[in-house]
Amino acid sequence: MGFKETGVITREELEERGLLPSIERLEKGPIAIAECPEGIPCNICVNVCPFNAVLMDKIYDLPRIDPDKCIGCGVCVPQCPGLAMFIVDLSKPDRALITLPYEFPPEPRKGMRVKLLDRAGNVVGEGSIVKVWQYDKTWAVTVETPRDKWFEVRAIWIPEK
Amino acid sequence: MGYYYMPGDYRIIHHPIIDFRRGRRIRFYYNDRVVEAYEGESILAALYAIGYRVFSYSPDGRRPRGAFCMIGKCSSCLSIVDGVPNTRICITPVREGARVYSQKGIPEIPHKLRVEPVETKTIKTDVLVIGGGPAGLQAALTLADEGFDVVLVDDHPRLGGQLVKQTHRFFGARRFYGGVRGFRIAEKLSKNVLERDNIHVYTQALAYGFFKEGVVGVAVRGGKPLNLIVKPKAVIGSTGACERTILFENNDLPGVMGAGGAQTLMNEYGVRPGDRAFIVGSGNVGLIVAYQLLQAGVRVLGMAEILPHIGGWFVHAAKIRRLGVKIYTKHTVTRAIGRDRVEKAVISMIDEKYQPIPGSEKVFDIDLLLLAVGLQPNYSLFSQAGTVMKYVPEIGGLVPIRTYYMETSVKNLYIAGDASGIEEATTAFIEGEIAALTIALKLGDDRSGVEKRRDQLVDYLWREYRMSPVVERARRGKLKVTVSEEDMEKIRRGELDGF
Ligand SMILES: Cc1cc2nc3c(=O)[nH]c(=O)nc-3n(C[C@H](O)[C@H](O)[C@H](O)COP(=O)(O)OP(=O)(O)OC[C@H]3O[C@@H](n4cnc5c(N)ncnc54)[C@H](O)[C@@H]3O)c2cc1C
Ligand code: SF4
Ligand code: SF4
Ligand code: FES
């Protein structure tokens, strides 16, 4: 079963399409991962990236992130209409930093403890928010997660008090 | 989750994306009880907000009817407003002191009603645009830019069509508002349209039919009723689409609603359509509505999809999957259960012949069952006008044959957007602009390079935008009904086989 059946994309499916950066690159510092595998007619990421790091020839091509140009700034995260852009940073030896889009109440704040969810909505751990910022109502939230969960975590849930 | 509601009130106070600005508080009577509402709400939205779910009864007076379409298309909300029976309260704005009664079956003739004579007004214009969604708005603006006089009519109280209900950022290129939230595109374009002196806008205005020589009748409701007779040189029909329904036991129970109906309630009026929802159909509409329900504080217990795979785009599916919403592929809804409102949904797995497999049922406790099973173009005006049509399942059913420039077999009648076959907003903008530029070319001279701009757009639409693999099916469908101008001439003379 592929992502069209499950709604969950696997590591292999991302790799086959060249959508996953190498571990070496991830260990050097933050980089964007575009989980956008279908060639939908969209090129917003190309337009918003201040570093021209997203390559696309025709509007129906897959977004390609240039590993040398992308600095993982996260500008694309809250602006991607598919909420499909994530930033992963494996440069710290003991943890991973993941930046993801968030559009629910309550407002996320630095220091909050949150549930970490995988692509199927399973809770796979807890983490802390280390940075938040907003673009037109969509939050970009950077969470600190266990290092071995860098590929799994793709959403957060802020538990009720 | 951090949602706050007034007790007994389904109005959304804090929404992560939309700031609901409510009008003055007013009062009206519902079945002789005083109810409070906010100016700007429709009668149905105001009643729904305080917990009403049943609004009328079937013709035999026995089966309760709830809200379904919320855009005046399905007749399940027919009520008596100030003595006028068969009023669709989903699109009738609340008014101080109005007397509203729910209607049980077929109403009496309102003999005693004092009806004001309907004034008839005849106006001439260059172009009449029917429908103010993305296709119509873009067409009107393009024509106005070229200096033409435009009349824009829309049945809904607000301009924007489907865009008004979309909280997410749209895909596509920036030239066609990619990256901007749907409701913001609607705000921006409506504002532009209303600012133009050469665009005359009528809302709550239903184009009801074509007469000889391209004359169109428009019934303007709201305020003083008006029978507007428009004499245009050309017409663009951008009437959009309406939702389909499917057959299953109790599919008429209140709480069974079109996905678009729920969107209208929660994103246009800021009223939470329920507490626990199940969705049928995993096309883009279903997937998006699931996400929007979560944003409005509604729990989504799952989605059923009859195909073996998810219907819509992966990115939309991924957004709800990672928040734990399950999508049951190879499943369909077989039954709704409840007395006056839906309380449970039953789904079943299906076999190779798409028949439910006995024993595979799953039951969900819900108060909202949303149908997102496809859209159907609003073609009735075009068939009345006599356009040659074709049934094309890939784009939602019956649609007029058209040229690459969007002209139908009835000369000077153009179509654009979902009315020409279901696609999405970007193609609606492009088709609207192509139709507008073609009319500009015919009615005027070509000082500003109109022909070149149009041909570039046609090229972009067919050779780039529609080449994306995810829109392949729609492209195939549109190809089946798009012909060259020469072939259209033959169709008009009845000389082309198959038409
Ligand atoms: C849930 C959902 C999500 C979507 N998401 C996206 C997306 O992410 N990206 C994208 O590109 N597209 C998206 N779309 C599709 C897009 O919104 C539609 O394709 C687009 O709105 C079609 O534009 P239109 O102008 O043809 O019709 P509409 O927007 O449907 O407008 C038609 C208008 O015509 C009026 N009308 C109809 N009949 C008459 C009449 N007889 N007289 C007067 N007025 C009349 C109606 O009141 C309406 O206002 C989505 C649609 C839905 C339902
Ligand atoms: S902006 Fe997002 S949805 Fe659009 S192409 Fe880029 S990654 Fe895909
Ligand atoms: S993270 Fe920054 S540099 Fe990298 S693709 Fe996104 S916007 Fe461009
Ligand atoms: S006509 Fe009012 S809900 Fe459909």
Tell me whether residues A82 and B171 touch, CB distance under 8 A: yes
| Facing A82 at nearest CB: one of B3, B315, B322 | B315
Cβ contact (<8 Å) for A106 and B174?
no
Last residue of a domain, which of B312, B341, B373?
A: B373
Q: How far is B471 from chain A (nearest CA, A)?
A: 8
pLDDT at B446: 76
Q: What is the CB < 6 Å shell around ligand 2?
A: A 34, 36, 42-45, 63, 80-82, 84-85; B 171, 315
Say yes or no to pLDDT of A9 above 90.
yes
**β strands within chain A, DSSP E:** 31-34, 54-55, 64-65, 85-89, 95-102, 113-117, 123-135, 138-146, 155-157
At A159 the pLDDT is: 87
Over range B252-258, report the average pLDDT: 96
Query: For A5, which of B309, B313, B470 is closest by C-beta distance?
Result: B309
Domain of residue B328: give its range. 246-373
Q: How confident is the model at residue B109 (pLDDT cuts 50, 70, 90)?
A: confident
Under an 8 A CB cutoff, do A8 and B179 touch?
no
Do B285 and B359 lie in one domain? The reply is yes
The residues, any chain, with a CB within 8 Å of residue B127's CB and separated by 6 or more, are B139, B140, B143, B148, B149, B150, B151, B232, B233, B234, B235, B236, B436, B439, B443
pLDDT (mean) for B373-377: 96
User: Do B162 and B189 fall into the same domain?
Assistant: yes
B470 and B388 part of one domain = yes
Token duo for residue B49: 């907000």
- Three-class DSSP labels, B377-392: ECCHHHHHHCCCEEEE
**pLDDT class for B146, splitting at 50, 70, 90?**
very high
Q: Give me the mean pLDDT over the B163-178 stretch.
A: 93
Nearest C-alpha in A relative to B296: A104
**Does the residue B18 lie in any domain?**
no
Cα–Cα distance between B242 and B371 in angstroms, integer? 12
B3 within a domain of the structure (yes/no): no
| pLDDT range class, residue A161, cuts 50, 70, 90 | low
Q: How confident is the model at residue B5 (pLDDT cuts 50, 70, 90)?
A: very low
H/E stretch holding B191 reads: helix B182-195
Same domain, B396 and B344: no
Among B169, B156, B371, which residue's Cα sits nearest to residue B250?
Answer: B371
| Segment B294-309 mean pLDDT | 97
Mean pLDDT for the stretch of residues B449-473: 95
Identify the pLDDT of residue B13: 92
Identity at B105, one-letter amino acid code? G
Chain B residues whose beta carbon lies within 8 Å of the beta carbon of residue A81: 168-171, 178-179, 315
Query: What is the three-state SS of B402-443?
Result: EECCCEECCCCEEECHHHHCCCCHHHHHHHHHHHHHHHHHHH
**Chain-chain contact of A104 with B314 (C-beta, under 8 angstroms):** no
Burial label for B163, CB within 10 Å (0-12, 13-18, 19+), is buried
B1 has a pLDDT exceeding 70: no
Q: What is the mean pLDDT of chain B?
A: 94
Give me the residue spans of the domains in chain A: 3-157
Regarding whether B264 and B228 lie in a shared domain, the answer is no
Q: Which tokens hold the place of B453? A: 């701009």
**Would you state the pLDDT for residue B125?**
98
The pLDDT tens digits for B320-340 are: 999 999 999 999 999 999 999
Q: How far apart are CA B69 and CA B242, in angstroms?
A: 8
Domain end position, chosen among B373, B395, B425: B373
Q: Structurally, how many domains does chain B consist of?
A: 3
Distance from CA of A62 to the nearest CA of B (A): 10
Contact A48 B179 (CB under 8 A): yes
Question: Is B204 inside any structural domain?
Answer: yes
Q: Taking a C-beta distance cutoff of 8 angstroms, is the pair B202, B140 a contact? A: no
The first and second tokens of residue B479, run together, are: 């190809």
Confidence of residue B430 (pLDDT cuts 50, 70, 90): very high
Query: CA-to-CA distance for B79 and B68, rounded, in angstroms?
Result: 14
Full-model pTM:
0.95
Q: What are phi and psi of A120, to 5 degrees?
A: -110, 10
From the CA of A81, how far away is ligand 3's center (Å)? 15
Q: Are residues B410 and B440 in the same domain?
A: yes
DSSP 8-state assignment for residue A126: E
Specify the range with the lowest mean pLDDT, choosing from B66-75, B342-351, B402-411: B66-75
B3: pLDDT strictly greater than 70: no
Sign, CA dihedral B189-B191-B192-B193, equals positive
Residues of B with CB under 8 A from a CB of A: 1-3, 14, 16-17, 168-174, 178-179, 181, 294-295, 308-310, 313-325, 327, 329, 426, 464-471
Structural contact between residues A81 and A40, judged by C-beta atoms closer than 8 angstroms: no
B347 token code pair: 């789904």
User: Which ligand has the nearest atom to the CA of A21?
Assistant: 3
Q: How far apart are the first and last CA of chain A?
A: 38
B363 and B251 part of one domain: yes
pLDDT(B62) > 70: yes
Q: Of the bound ligands, which one is closest to the alpha carbon of residue A63?
A: 2
pLDDT-based confidence at residue B4 (cuts at 50, 70, 90): very low
Q: Please state, in angstroms and rounded to a whole number, the distance separating the CA atoms of residues B36 and B453.
A: 52
Please give the average per-residue pLDDT across B370-383, as a whole number: 96
Q: What is the pLDDT of residue B105?
A: 83
Residues B368, B255 share a domain = yes
DSSP category for residue B395: G
pLDDT of the residue at B6: 46
Same domain, B148 and B225: yes
Copy the structure tokens of residue B244: 């389909």
Please report residues of B whose CB lies closer than 8 A to that of A43: 173, 178
Q: Average pLDDT, whole number, for chain A?
A: 97
Of B173, B181, B327, the CB nearest to A7: B327
Cβ of B396 less than 6 Å from ligand 1: no
Give me the interface pTM, i.e. the ipTM. 0.98
pLDDT above 70 for B2: no
Q: What is the CATH number of the domain that holds B36?
A: 3.10.20.440
Q: Which amino acid is at B134?
A: P
**In the block, which residue shows the tokens 């956008």?**
A36
- Two tokens at B113? 């009603």
How far is the C-alpha of B77 from the C-alpha of B91, rounded, in Å? 10
CA dist B12 → A75, A157, B42, B111, B273 (Å): 30, 20, 16, 41, 10
pLDDT (tens digit, 9 = 90+) per residue, A86-142? 999 999 999 999 999 999 999 999 999 999 999 999 999 999 999 999 999 999 999
